[in-house]
């Protein structure tokens, strides 16, 4: 789970960057669920998918200068910490995997 204070800091940095660069945020999505929207429509609106795992999120943050500026001096350490956390997670077998695959052995 993300630290809400760090999320807020990155959102503020992104918002300020958008204002500074006069980026058009596009039309608001009102009365419909983005999750139910067909992929093509999301793509046409310029919506890109969110990272599906912590490794992908670390890769994205590493390339995002605005996001890193929102985190300030802790950005690189935070990415290193989260990469280590992902590595630890990937070394463990989940209960679902055991239930699903134990009969194949």
Contact 20, 14 (CB under 8 A): no
**Cβ-proximal residues to 83 (8 Å cutoff; 6+ apart), any chain:** 55, 58
Rounded distance between C-alpha atoms, residue 52 and residue 85, angstroms = 15
Cα dihedral 75→80→83→84 (10° resolution): -140
pLDDT reported for residue 45: 86
| Domain ranges within the chain, ordered by starting residue | 4-104
- Please give the structure tokens belonging to residue 95: 């209960």
pLDDT by residue for the chain (105 residues), tens only, comes to 789 999 999 999 999 999 999 999 888 888 888 889 999 999 998 888 899 999 999 999 999 999 999 999 999 999 999 999 999 999 999 999 898 888 866
The HSE-up count of residue 86 (CA atoms within 13 Å, CB side) is 14
pTM: predicted TM-score of the whole model, two decimal places? 0.78
Q: State the sign of the Cα–Cα–Cα–Cα dihedral 34, 24, 1, 98.
A: positive
């Amino acid at each position: 789970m993300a630290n809400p204070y760090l999320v807020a800091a990155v959102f503020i940095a992104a918002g300020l960057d958008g204002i500074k660069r006069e980026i058009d945020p596009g039309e608001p999505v009102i009365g419909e669920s983005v999750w139910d929207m067909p992929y093509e429509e999301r793509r046409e609106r310029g919506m890109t998918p969110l990272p599906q795992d912590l490794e992908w999120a670390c890769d994205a943050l590493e390339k995002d200068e605005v996001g890193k500026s929102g985190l300030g001096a802790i950005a690189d350490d935070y990415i290193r910490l989260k990469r280590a956390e992902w590595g630890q997670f990937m070394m463990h077998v989940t209960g679902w995997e055991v239930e699903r695959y134990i009969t194949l052995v």
